């Protein structure tokens, strides 16, 4: 019976997607626009008889003024995402560790075909960060090393234990919401559903973004409530380790300013 009801709910979502209603997905960030800039990075590979190769890497603004999206034109993870909120979390990726060595870099985020870098403060200029990041990304791609040796976060995993509501929430997140958020250099991860509240973790450019509250309430919450009457609220949460890392970073930043 439960499986039949779940199938029916899935059909309802697909019918609304394709026929009678088109939800304005881009309204998740409706007050922002993105621009792309293409940069040719020139460097000396280690084993090409002294020849120089050119790699065109695009940079794209995000809704978060402290985050910049880099598109190397080649797969980064291929599929899934991986968040590095602090240098201590970058043990599984040599590329992330190199990017954290750049002064002013606060966090690094890998997507299927992009890298998002978030700087420590809006007052920090992008000029040097961008130049050094472009060089580091180009050199790493040329090396052929794996981007990560750790676990990558893929789409929400479905479980037989999921009730009908949770199943539909996950499907909407994966098919309608995550692709849009990833276009803007971030990702949204399902963390639970309890007493009418959907708990989500925003990562990448979404972390600390001034429009994240608008994204949650006017974008994600409205969409989920349209399809799922049981959803009363959407709440942003952080993992305990992320909260600890954020506190440590804040304390260190305060000491450096004193």
In this predicted model, what pLDDT tens digit does every residue of 187-246 receive, in sequence order? 989 999 999 999 999 898 888 776 767 777 778 888 999 999 999 999 988 875 444 444
* 215 in Cβ contact with 29 (< 8 Å): yes
Domain final residue pick, 112, 143, 174: 143
Give per-residue pLDDT as tens, 158-201. Answer: 777 788 899 999 999 988 888 888 998 989 899 999 999 999 99
Q: Can you give the pLDDT at residue 117?
A: 97
Q: Both 120 and 176 in a single domain?
A: no
Token couple for 148 = 């990560």
**Band (257; pLDDT cuts 50, 70, 90):** low
Residues 24 and 66 in one domain: no
Q: How confident is the model at residue 44 (pLDDT cuts 50, 70, 90)?
A: very low
Note the pTM of the prediction, 2 decimals.
0.73
In a domain, 149, yes or no: no
* DSSP3 helix / strand / coil % (the chain, rounded to 5): 40, 25, 35
State how far Cα 11 lies from the chain centre: 28
In sequence order, what are the residues at sequence separation of 6 or more whose Cβ sits closer than 8 angstroms to the Cβ of residue 16? 227
Interval 4-20 mean pLDDT: 46
Q: How far apart are CA 82 and CA 95, in angstroms?
A: 12
Q: Give the end of a domain, one of 143, 169, 187.
A: 143
134 with 43, same domain: the answer is: yes
Average pLDDT, the chain: 77
Residues 207 and 112 in one domain: no
Residue 99 in domain:
yes
Q: Which residue has the higher pLDDT, 219 or 145?
A: 145
- Biggest CA-to-CA distance, the chain: 67
Query: What is the C-alpha separation between 27 and 77, in angstroms, rounded?
Result: 27
* 101 and 13 fall within a common domain: no
Q: What is the CATH number of the domain that holds 80?
A: 3.30.1370.70
Ranges 7-11, 73-77, 249-253, most confident: 73-77
pLDDT at 56: 84
| Pair (181, 212) in one structural domain | yes
Shared domain for 198 and 214, answered yes or no, is yes
CA 64/CA 206 separation, integer angstroms: 7
Q: Which two tokens stand for residue 3?
A: 């499986």
- Higher pLDDT residue, 146 or 247? 146
Query: In this structure, what token pair is assigned to residue 194?
Result: 């309890």
Question: What token pair was written down for 94?
Answer: 């040599």
- Whether 135 and 191 map to the same domain: the answer is no
User: Do 56 and 133 sit in the same domain of this protein?
Assistant: yes
CA–CA separation, 198 vs 175, rounded Å? 17
Residue 38's pLDDT band (cuts 50, 70, 90): low
Shared domain for 24 and 42, answered yes or no, is no
Which domain-ending residue is among 117, 143, 169? Answer: 143
197: domain CATH number is 3.30.300.130
User: Do 190 and 119 have their domain in common?
Assistant: no
Q: What is the pLDDT of residue 219?
A: 83
Nearest-angstrom CA–CA distance, 172 and 12: 12
C-alpha span between 43 and 23 (Å, rounded)? 45
Residue 161: predicted pLDDT:
77
If one compares 30 and 215, the residue with the highest pLDDT of the two is 215
Domain span at residue 233 reads 2-29+159-242
pLDDT at 113 over 60: yes
Q: How many domains does the chain have?
A: 2
Q: Is residue 104 domain-resident?
A: yes
**Domain assignment of residue 86, yes or no:** yes
Partners of 61 in the β-ladder:
68
CA distance 122 to 130: 14
Mean pLDDT of the 29-44 span:
50
Q: Is residue 163 part of a domain?
A: yes
């Amino acid at each position: 019976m439960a499986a039949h009801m779940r199938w029916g709910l899935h059909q309802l979502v697909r019918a609304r997607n394709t026929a009678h209603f088109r939800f304005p997905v881009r309204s998740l960030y409706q007050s922002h626009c993105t621009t792309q800039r293409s940069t040719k990075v020139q460097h000396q590979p280690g084993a090409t008889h002294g020849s120089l190769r050119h790699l065109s890497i695009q940079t794209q603004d995000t809704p978060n003024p402290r985050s910049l999206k880099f598109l190397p034109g080649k797969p980064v993870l291929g599929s899934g995402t991986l968040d590095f909120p602090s240098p201590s979390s970058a043990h599984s990726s040599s590329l992330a560790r190199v990017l954290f060595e750049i002064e002013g870099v606060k966090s690094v985020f890998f997507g299927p075909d992009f890298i998002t870098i978030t700087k420590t403060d809006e007052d920090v200029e992008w000029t040097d960060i961008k130049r050094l990041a472009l060089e580091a990304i180009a050199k790493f791609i040329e090396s052929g090393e794996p981007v990560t040796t750790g676990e990558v976060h893929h789409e929400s995993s479905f479980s037989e234990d999921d009730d009908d509501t949770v199943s539909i929430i996950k499907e909407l997140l994966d098919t309608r919401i995550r692709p849009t958020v990833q276009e803007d250099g971030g990702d949204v991860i399902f963390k639970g559903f309890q007493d009418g509240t959907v708990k989500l973790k925003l990562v990448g450019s979404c972390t600390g973004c001034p429009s994240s509250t608008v994204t949650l309430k006017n974008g994600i919450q409205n969409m989920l409530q349209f399809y799922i009457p049981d959803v009363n609220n959407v709440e942003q949460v952080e993992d305990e380790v992320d909260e600890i890392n954020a506190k440590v970073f804040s304390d260190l930043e305060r000491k450096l300013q004193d």
